[in-house]
Structure 1
Amino acid sequence: MELDEERLSTTTLKVDKGNGKVSHVIQFLGGRSTLFVLVSILLIGLIIYIYNHISFIFYPITVFFSTVVLPVILATIAYYLLRPILRLLERIKVPRIWGILIIFIGAVGLITLLVFLVLPFLKIQFHNLVEEFPTYFGQLLINADSFLRTSIFASYYAGLDINVNTLLESVQGNIGKFFTDTVGGIASGVTSFISALTGFILAIVTVPFILFYLLKDGERLPQLIIKMLPPRMRDDAEIIFHDADRQISSYVQGQILVAICIGIMVSIGFLIIGMKYALLLGVLAMFTSVVPYLGPLIAITPAVIIAIVTSPLMLFKLAAVWTIVQLIDGKFISPQIMGKSLRIHPITIIFVLLTAGSLFGVAGVVLGIPGYALLKVLVSHLFKLFKLRYNKYEVNDQLHYENSASRESGE
């Protein structure tokens, strides 16, 4: 009986389509005529036009989100780092509130230890490197000039008529002008600077409070949001929340662990070969490694300049250490920790980094990949729903999307 009704419905659609009464494309879009589509497009354009002229009304909302976004992002990162520890404590029968308290005490102790033991040493190394880096850079230019004048490119280089001393004086003058302009800019914009600093401090202060409630109720938050949705949408929303949670968790936990491993390996390797500022360069490699592809290039640049100025042998030692670190990371650490959870093509990663960096600066470079992963989860699921809806309204079986069930059965 159900099969007969289905055939009758399909036949009716085909007949109506032939008579020009019903189009499966219009039905797919949710309407009954071409006028529905045209009116929908017109309304969308009208909404965009009106918004462009009254956008000032939404300024308080923009300010609210720009103020809230930083502490929420920091608290979310900390939540995904600390959630496995909280779950471990719950497995050994520690109540959730006491587990959160233990985690907070441990985090405060670790931060205090880093501030009083590691930070002063890093501050001294950073200060010395800032003072000596212009000397390293100048020596690098002199060494490059001497090499080019005695190489096979000497005739071409001589034709360029480059004076290293003039170039160095120009660079030093530009650096001095840069610092002068920067100080002047800071002095003229001291009010905005203090305002931004105050906002950042307030954001840091509010992170523990947001983190506490995320650890306490974070796992129940998706269910509360799902209950507010219509029943027909709840199953799809639950899948989206589950996939998004898995993507963020895998990326944050994996990227932080990989970064720590890289920082430790680089520091140990530089200490072994006697590289100056080994610990500082290791910390730089740890922080920049959260940016795929571009991070290692940023981290290796100051190390290469120091190694070239020190001695040619140091450059070979640096190349050996960096190669070993990258091999260990690429073959053992990243595959074991990160796996293939994101499944993003390298070319896509580069495009995402360039685009996000152009739009949002440093924050875009750091958050571009996890943001893309979340967007990919949402778009992928919406595309699955699109295929189901398309197949429902397409009367020709040959034009249906292939679903997973038919692939598994070999149809």
Structure 2
Amino acid sequence: MELNSSNIKKILFIIVVSILVFLGVQNFGIVMRFSHVVIKILKPFIIGVCIAFTLNGLLRLLEDRVFSPLNRSNSILWKKSRRGICILLTYAILGGILFVLFFLIVPELRKSFQMLLSNINIYAAVFQNWTDKMISTLNISPDYANTIRIDWDKVFSMLGSFMKNVSNDFINTTMNITSAVISVVVNTVIGIAFSVYMLFQKEKLASQAKRICLAYFSRKRAEYLISVGKLSNKIFARFIVGQFTEAIIIGLLCFIGMNIFSMPYSSLISTIVGVTSLIPVFGALIGTGVGVFVLLMVEPMTAVWFIVFIIVLQQIEGNIIYPRVVGNSIGLPGIWVLLAVTVGGSSFGVMGMLLGIPLSSIIYCLFKNEVSARLRRRGISYADIEGLGVDFTETM
């Protein structure tokens, strides 16, 4: 290799990156803590970017489809006010959906919670009768039955005490909860303001990003970075659409299944399951916990069958619906979807789950294209790849 200035820069760059990677691996805990601090600081802006990406599809639908007749009118007033009106309508639609969901779910949960506290003794008797019937059906001897018999009165008494203590603790920790709520509200408000700016100026921001790339990088490198940006935008948009589509499918399947099996509160629980399904892969389990809690207050035995129903539905969702609807929409195989959710969730919680899949898809697409390009440059075809390897069993 000729040691010209360009090659020396490349060698120095590789050395610096290698040192940084080595130090990062050696001090992984410090790196993760630093990452959490940075993410906490940037959280309002991350929320804003996520909101902007989420609502951009609806904004484009309003601008290009709903108001297409006005676009063809060539009205100067409409051209100046179109973006502002469409953004206002976009946020109004989002606010309306959240308002309906909030006032549908919260009152029912409060009502169910109060019902559990008032009927807890009745549920204890129901569970005790059910246990006695099971013992009688299975022909279990009285001596052995006494050793496994559960004192449901005591269990539900403890449950009632626990729930009352939780209520008392909730009252005693109002200041902490208020502080957390204020933090979430502040981050959300800043995020919404930032998302409005992004949606208003999205074309200008894209143009500025291109100018910066062309100013500081070679044309080839700048074109590559711009292509990565376009790929990222496309994958994030498809992920958001796929995630919402998957949540709607799960909610509808849950609603249909609960009505087939005549389970109560089908609308409420299906809505909860659908909304929590927006959290990739594991979100439906959160909705299941809430659904079991609601059913436990009304028909305890139905709650057991609901768990069985959700387990089956979760298998269908995890193995068929999610990898196909979300995985295929962003070009990421199902196994990598599960890996991205697991790693992202364990590292950065719910935010890691939501961002892990599109980020993994971007890395997957870039690496896949790089591998394909290298194989083409080496003249290696698909038939050559398939023909590689020796069957050692033939020599035995």
Q: Same fold judged by TM-score > 0.5?
A: yes
Distance in 2, matches of 1:372 and 1:153, equals 55
**Compared CA separation, residues 225 and 73, structure 1 to 2 (3 A):** farther
Match of 1:359 in 2: 347
**Post-superposition CA distance 1:158-193 (Å, at most 9, x none):** 434642222222222233333333432333575565
* 1:257 to partner: Cα distance: 2.8
Partner amino acid for 1:259? Answer: A
Q: Which amino acid aligns with 1:66?
A: K
Gaps spanning 5+ residues in structure 2: where?
73-77, 386-396
Aligned counterpart, 2:135: 149
Does residue 131 (structure 1) correspond to residue 120 (structure 2)? The answer is: no
Query: Which of 330, 334, 348 is the aligned partner of 1:342?
Result: 330
Q: Which digits, 9 at most, give the CA deviation of each residue in 1:218-238, with x for residues without a partner?
A: 654653454243223123223
| 1:284 Cα deviation after fit | 0.8
Residue 10 of structure 1: aligned partner: none
Q: Computing the radius of gyration over CA atoms, which structure comes out larger, 1 or 2?
A: 1
Match of 1:242 among 221, 227, 230: 230
Shift in Å, 1:99: 3.9
Q: Give the aligned partner of residue 251 of structure 2.
A: 263
Q: Percent identity?
A: 16
1:286 corresponding residue in structure 2: 274
Q: 1:332 to 1:356 in 2, by over 3 A?
A: closer
Q: Cα gap change, 1:133/1:302 in structure 2, threshold over 3 Å: closer, same or farther?
A: farther
Identify the match of residue 223 of structure 1 among 202, 205, 210.
210
Q: 2:86 aligns with which of 103, 117, 125?
A: 103
Q: Distance in 2 between matches of 1:77 and 1:90?
A: 20
2:47–2:191 CA contact under 8 A, matched in 1 = yes
Q: What RMSD in Å do the two structures reach over aligned CA positions?
A: 5.2
Higher relative contact order (CA 8 A, sep 6+): 1
Q: Which residue of 2 aligns with 1:277?
A: 265
Aligned to 2:299: 310
Aligned to 2:388: none
Q: What's 1:75 paired with?
A: 52
Q: Is the 8 A contact 2:123 2:300 kept in 1?
A: no
Q: In structure 2, how many angstroms separate the alpha carbons of the residues matched to 1:142 and 1:348?
A: 46
Corresponding residue to 2:151 among 137, 145, 163: 163
Task: Say which SS state the counterpart of residue 290 (structure 1) adopts.
Answer: coil
Is 1:254–2:231 an aligned residue pair? no
Deviation at 1:112, TM superposition (A): 6.1
Give the match's secondary structure for 1:340.
Answer: helix
Distance apart, 1:247 and its partner CA: 1.5
Measure how far apart 1:72 and its partner are: 2.1
TM-score normalised by L of structure 1: 0.66
Q: Distance in 2 between matches of 1:66 and 1:316?
A: 40
Look up the SS of the partner of 1:291 in the other structure: coil
Conservation of the 8 A alpha-carbon contact between 2:235 and 2:330:
yes
- Are the structure 2 counterparts of residues 273 and 42 from structure 1 closer, same or farther at C-alpha, using a change threshold of 3 Å? closer
312 and 117 in structure 1: CA distance in 2 versus 1, 3 angstrom threshold: closer
CA–CA distance in structure 1, aligned partners of residues 159 and 282 of structure 2? 26
**C-alpha separation between the residues in 1 aligned to 2:250 and 2:377?**
42
Which consecutive unaligned segments of at least 5 residues does structure 1 have? 1-12, 14-21, 389-400
Rate the CA distance shift 1:359–1:45 in 2: closer, same or farther, 3 A: closer
Does the Cα contact within 8 Å between 1:77 and 1:252 map onto a contact in 2? yes
What TM-score does the superposition give when structure 2 sets the normalisation length? 0.68
Q: Is the deviation greater in 258-267 or in 136-145?
A: 136-145
Match of 2:43 in 1: 66
- CA displacement 1:54-101 (0-9 Å, x = unmatched): x99999966642332222222222124433443436866457654423
Distance 2:11 2:194 in 1: 48
